[in-house]
Structure 1
Amino acid sequence: MILDHFRLDGAVAVVTGSGRGIGAATAIALAEAGADVVLSARTREQLDEVAARIADTGRKACVVPADLGDPAAAGRLADAATETFGRLDIVVNNVGGTMPRPLLETTPEFLTEAFRFNVGTAHALTTAAVPAMLESGGGSIVNISSVMGRVSGRGFLAYGTAKGALAQYTRLAAADLAPKIRVNAISVGSVATSALQVVVDNTELRERMESATPLRRLGEPDDIAATILYLSSRAGSYVTGKVLEVDGGQQAPNLELGLPDLT
């Protein structure tokens, strides 16, 4: 049956930033498809809640609280997978983000930090994971990029540049790691997570964003989790080096920050 192509029975995944939002939804989705999951984020309580939901699916979770702003901490997650479950098949580089800031307030240090958190952390986990994935026969890596990595909007220079770099990193890594390991990314649009809580809780702002999105709604974490499941499973076995746009049809920012012209 075609649905069997989406099964992950016996697979082991690492999902960063998995205490809430897209990361938590992804970890649960992969478990529901049959995978055991290494969970990592800063807050143990959140991870424990996700681990309990994974246990309800009949799968196992390994909780690794860590500051994933440190690339070395991200790299150690590959060891956690092999030490706990004996293999590693799937990596989801979900952690990332950078606060908006006007260009003239974007210092070189701020830009460097954006690269380190959004690209360096993903690279650290990827390079640590590859030997284990090869021992398991191959696998799939999914990076979480952003619509702001391909469209322009004021205030997003550091974030958009870093996410655009992560998209190109995906293409280059896919070439380096083929044919055993597939590498893809998702260009994520506006998703109703804690990062957008101020919008979700404000009817006027939410309606403004929804009206500027062709599908007239914000995304849900499960929209992204379902795409990650596709890319991680046999259903996506002929896909590598691609950046899938899961953004409600956005071709421009759907909420301007209102930064003025320079004078």
Structure 2
Amino acid sequence: MILDRFRLDERVAVVTGAGRGLGAAIALGFAEAGADVLIAARTESDLEKVAQQIRDLGRRAHIVVADLADAEACAALAATAVAELGRLDIVVNNVGGAMPTPLLDTSPRRLNDAFGFNVANAHALVRAAVPLMLEGAGGGSIINITSAVGRMPGRGFAAYGTAKAALAHYTRLAAMDLSPRIRVNAIAPGSIATSALEIVAGDEAMRTAVEQATPLRRLGDPAEIAAAALFLASPAGGYLTGKVIEVDGGLIAPNLDIPIPDL
């Protein structure tokens, strides 16, 4: 059966930034497909809610409360997954971000911080996870969450867009180094209806403008990102590596205008 290829029975995944939003949706999607999941984020109460939902699906959940802006905290998740859940098959690097800032107000330190948070910390977890994946499962799947802004120019995104573009190309490079036993892919979401976009979702005029600037005329649903992650993590996506899947409603230009004036 073709749907059997989307199963993750008895596999173990680590999902960062999983207390809410895309990370929570991905963790729950994996659990529905049969995986046990280590979820990590800063807020324990958010993680507990997601963990309970995973357990209600009949799967195991382990929470790690950590500041994932710390590369060492990211790297430690791999060994914790093996210690608590027995193995490691899948890693989803979902943490990241940077506030929009005009180019001339973006200091070198801010750019370095964005690169560290979005790229270097993902690399720290990858380095820690790969030996354990090879040892316990013989291989695995790594999924990086990038952004549509990583490929489209828009004002105010010098730090965030550059970091996400770097993560996308890191995905391609890592896929070459880790093939054939570990697949590395990425998802580049567009405007998804999560708490990170609440300033848009809560303003009817702004939401309408964003939707009208999106070819599919709506915001994305977190479950649509989770479905893409499930495809990449499961045998269904077994012939993909080094690819960035764009789940963005068809965007060819930014759909959210940052009001930065001309010089």
Alignment partner of 1:71 is 2:71: yes
Report SS of the residue matched to 2:13. Answer: strand
Alignment partner of 1:143 is 2:130: no
Aligned residue for 1:113?
A: 113
Q: Give the superposition deviation at 1:86.
A: 1.5
Alignment partner of 1:186 is 2:187: yes
Report SS of the residue matched to 1:53. Answer: helix
Cα separation, 1, equivalents of 2:242 and 2:199: 34
Aligned residue for 1:210?
A: 211
Report SS of the residue matched to 1:24. Answer: helix
Report SS of the residue matched to 1:92. Answer: strand
Cα separation, 1, equivalents of 2:22 and 2:161: 19
Q: Give the superposition deviation at 1:163.
A: 0.1
Q: Give the superposition deviation at 1:234.
A: 0.2
Aligned residue for 1:246?
A: 247
Letter in 2 for 1:156: F
Q: Give the superposition deviation at 1:255.
A: 1.2
Report SS of the residue matched to 2:19. Answer: coil
Question: How many pairs align?
Answer: 262
Aligned residue for 2:41?
A: 41
Pairs within 5 Å for 1:55-204: 55-135=55-135, 136-204=137-205
Aligned residue for 1:16?
A: 16
Letter in 1 for 2:214: T
Cα separation, 1, equivalents of 2:44 and 2:10: 25
Letter in 2 for 1:128: A
Cα separation, 2, equivalents of 1:34 and 1:240: 22
Report SS of the residue matched to 1:159. Answer: helix
Report SS of the residue matched to 1:64. Answer: strand
Aligned residue for 1:229?
A: 230
Report SS of the residue matched to 2:146. Answer: strand
Cα separation, 2, equivalents of 1:255 and 1:232: 30
Report SS of the residue matched to 1:37. Answer: strand
Report SS of the residue matched to 1:39. Answer: strand
Alignment partner of 1:5 is 2:5: yes
Cα separation, 1, equivalents of 2:60 and 2:177: 31
Letter in 2 for 1:126: V
Report SS of the residue matched to 1:14. Answer: strand
Q: Give the superposition deviation at 1:121.
A: 1.1
Report SS of the residue matched to 2:153. Answer: coil
Unmatched 5+ residue regions in structure 2? none
Cα separation, 2, equivalents of 1:132 and 1:35: 17
Q: Give the superposition deviation at 1:137.
A: 1.0
Cα separation, 2, equivalents of 1:36 and 1:206: 36
Identity %: 63
Q: Give the superposition deviation at 1:118.
A: 0.2
Q: Give the superposition deviation at 1:122.
A: 0.5
Cα separation, 2, equivalents of 1:190 and 1:40: 23
Cα separation, 1, equivalents of 2:245 and 2:25: 18
In the TM superposition, structure 1's runs of 4+ consecutive aligned residues that sit over 6 Å from their partners are none
Q: Give the superposition deviation at 1:101.
A: 0.2
Report SS of the residue matched to 1:49. Answer: helix
Cα separation, 2, equivalents of 1:29 and 1:99: 28
Write out per-residue CA displacement over residues 17-76 of structure 1, whole angstroms, 9 at most, x where no aligned residue. 000000000000000000000010000000000000000100000000000000110000
Cα separation, 2, equivalents of 1:62 and 1:44: 11
Cα separation, 2, equivalents of 1:250 and 1:224: 15
